[in-house]
Structures are given as C-alpha cells and as structure tokens.
Amino acid sequence: MAMSGSSALIYSDSYMGYNFSPWHPMKPERLLLTAELVKAYGLQEFPKMEIVEPRLATDEELRLVHDQAYIDKVRELSGPDAEKTYAPGWGLGTGDNPVFSGMHEASATIAGGALKAAQLIMEGNLDHVFHMGGGLHHAQRDRASGFCIYNDVALAAAWLRKTFEARVLYLDFDAHHGDGVQAAFHGDPNVMTVSFHESGMYLFPGTGFTSEIGDGEGRGYAVNLPLAPGASDDILLEAYEELVPPLARAFKPDIIITQDGCDGHWSDPLTHLGYSLAGFAELSRRLHKLVHEVSGGRWLASGGGGYQAYTVVPRAWTRLMADMTEAELPEALPISWRELCGRYADNEVPLTLTGDDPPEADAAIIENARNLAQKGIEEIRNSIFPLTGAENS
C-alpha cells in the first residue's frame, strides 16, 4: 500500500556533545554514523525527506516536565570542571549519569529537537519526523536516570497537549521500560503510554509490570508488556498485533510518538532480548501503516537505547528512516560508510543493511518468553481493554 507523506530527520553534529565519557555505553558516535549512513544512501536527496537542525529548548518549555530546581542544578553542574562533581540526589554524577561540560546545553538541544519535530508535524509541514538523538525516556521530573538528563519524548507529548490539546499515543519499544514518560502522564487520559520491554525482574529500571495501568482519570491509559529474556521477533510482532492496533483504534490519537530504541537486539551488551534487524524493520513497516490508519500520518519517531553503536544502531535507524520515506535501499552498505565505520569500530564492519547472524535460539527459553508474553497480553486485554474500549476495536 502506498502511503503519501513528507518526512525529516532532526539532526546536528551538536548532538555529539551529549557525551558522558569515553567509557560510557551510550556513545554519541552512533548518531554520527546513522546520519552519515542516511547521507551515504542518498536519503536526504529523496523528494520526501530533509535533514533539519534542532533548536535549544527554553526553561519554560523544560518546565512542562521538569522542576525548575532540577533544571538549575543541571545548568550549575555543566561547567568546565563538571566531571569533578557528584549530586546523587539529583541522579547526577552517578555511574549511569556522570556530569559533563556543556551538559545543560547538550540536553536542552535534544529536548528542543523533539519540540521542533512536534511543531513541524502539527503545523502541517511534515507528516513523519525521526528525532534519533531523542528517546531519553527515563528522566524524571526532578532527577536524571538511566543515561537521560531531560525527557525529550515526555516534553514533546506535554507540549502537544498544551499547544494543540492533542491526544498523544506513545509507543515505546526500547528494551528498558519507559518509566519517565509513564510517570509524567500517569493520571492523564489524553496521553496513552504503551511500553514493550524486558521485564523489570531482570533489567533496569525494575518497573513496567502489567499491574501498572495508570491512576484516576488516567486509569487504563498506561499499558505495559514485560518480556522475558530471549523474546524473539515473532513474540514481539505477535504481541504488537494483539495489542497496539486495537488500543490505537480505540484511543484515536492525533499523533503517535514512538521510542525506537534498538537495545532489544540479540547482540546488545546491556540487555537480554532476542530481536534482529529484520524484526526492527518489520516493526517500523507496521508502525508506518498504523500511523496512516489512526493518526492522519502524524508520526514523531525517536531514538533511545542501543549499545552496539557501530554494527546495529546505524543500520536499524537508517532502515526506520527509509521506511518513513518509502525509499527502497540496496542491501549492500555503501563503501564510503563502511570505511567511516571502520575508523570507529573495534570489530568487523557490517556488509549489509539488515543482514544478521543471530545464535540458534534455545527452545526452552523461547517457550518461556512466549508464555510470559501471552500471559501479559491476556492480563492487558482483561484489565485495559474494557477501560479504553479497545475490546470493541
């Protein structure tokens, strides 16, 4: 099915400034390599696609989600001697979130990139925007968490609510639970948060169980599917079909925000799921179809986790950008990009866009993962669907 719509990538080399340290697993080079792969494939020359610079979010905008005292603390700890400071009560200076010079400006630029993406979509300039530097879904109102300083996706949703009174459907496919976004809208029936993630029994942040369904007027508008280690593409995609289209049709969003972290890949060093690059590609294809069905094509995709910075992240996110743009890309990766990647990678540079070599799956692990997913799906259908009307969609 052909799907019309113009799209953009929000990116600037300034995003390289969001850099905790050389040893930190969230390597900014993954963004540079993704942008360069998009360019090497010529996607920026495609009639429906452009690359747009982000902007700096103001304190007033940041306050849509974060306390001013926290913003002030981030700014205070952003000086040239930042690495010497330690403020664990704010989630800063910790192993996950070491402070760094220019931290506020780098983080506020990522937040501003999400806001610019939302504005371009809602003012009708673009249908789909990919903000790959974003997806920092763990940051809380008053503290940093899980490599996230400012919560750009929550800010985008809050800005959309304030400016356009938009109904926002937030879909999070990162291996880690989207706890910061859920917390920001736990009582709001106009923002539905849906997170598919490795169970908090095994992985940070230890939340995101099916019993977390929202509070007050927002009861039924927080949806969580925890997955067991080893969950495969088939398990993810089957769960998606069982839950997401019915929820989306019942909710009738004005815009869909997705968090497209690719740390669920089988080779990711920080997680234990079993997705492949082909699985991510199929998920993005289905998301593209869904946004044209239920939200008028309005789709703000964001990045997120992904700690195979050279071999997985650039390929997964370039494929997502291609799907947004409806571009058919050759499987062979451009030689110029492979040479660039080789300057950073300390292992073999990939040859193809979606080629993968996952290890043979253990049947018992897959059965356990499938059983847990099915149990979660049934719990969601029993608890959430009656509250939202999804049972009739």
Q: What's at 350, amino acid-wise?
A: P
In this model, does residue 303 exceed pLDDT 50? yes
- pLDDT cut 70: percent of the chain above it: 98
In this model, does residue 1 exceed pLDDT 60? no
Which residues are within 8 A (CB) of 20 and not within 5 positions of it... i.e. 6 or more apart? 26, 97, 98, 100, 147
Catalytic residue among 66, 128, 131, 138: 138
Nearest CA to 24 out of 96, 82, 102 is that of 96
Assign 84 a pLDDT band (cuts: 50, 70, 90).
Answer: low
Phi, psi of 8 (to 5 degrees): -150, 160
- The token pair that represents 363 in the structure block: 């049947």
CATH class of 7-53+114-392: alpha beta
Nearest CA to 283 out of 219, 248, 238 is that of 238
Q: Is 168 helix (H, G, I), strand (E, B) or coil?
A: strand
Q: Identify the helix (H) or strand (E) that includes residue 222.
A: strand 222-227
Give the max Cα distance, the chain. 57
In this model, does residue 2 exceed pLDDT 60? no
Whole-number pLDDT of residue 83 = 65
Predicted TM-score (pTM) of the model is 0.97
Cα 67 to the chain's mean position, in Å?
23
In this model, does residue 3 exceed pLDDT 60? no
- The token pair that represents 180 in the structure block: 């910061």
Give the DSSP per-residue string, 170-205: EEE-SSS--HHHHHHTTT-TTEEEEEEEE-TTTSTT
> Model confidence over 254-281: pLDDT tens digits?
999 999 999 999 999 999 999 999 999 9
Phi, psi of 302 (to 5 degrees): -130, 165
Catalytic status, residue 138? yes
Q: Is 87 left (phi over 0), alpha (psi -120 to 50) or beta?
A: beta
Ranges 52-66, 266-280, 334-348: which has the least confidence = 334-348
Sign (positive/negative) of CA torsion 163, 285, 321, 271? Answer: positive
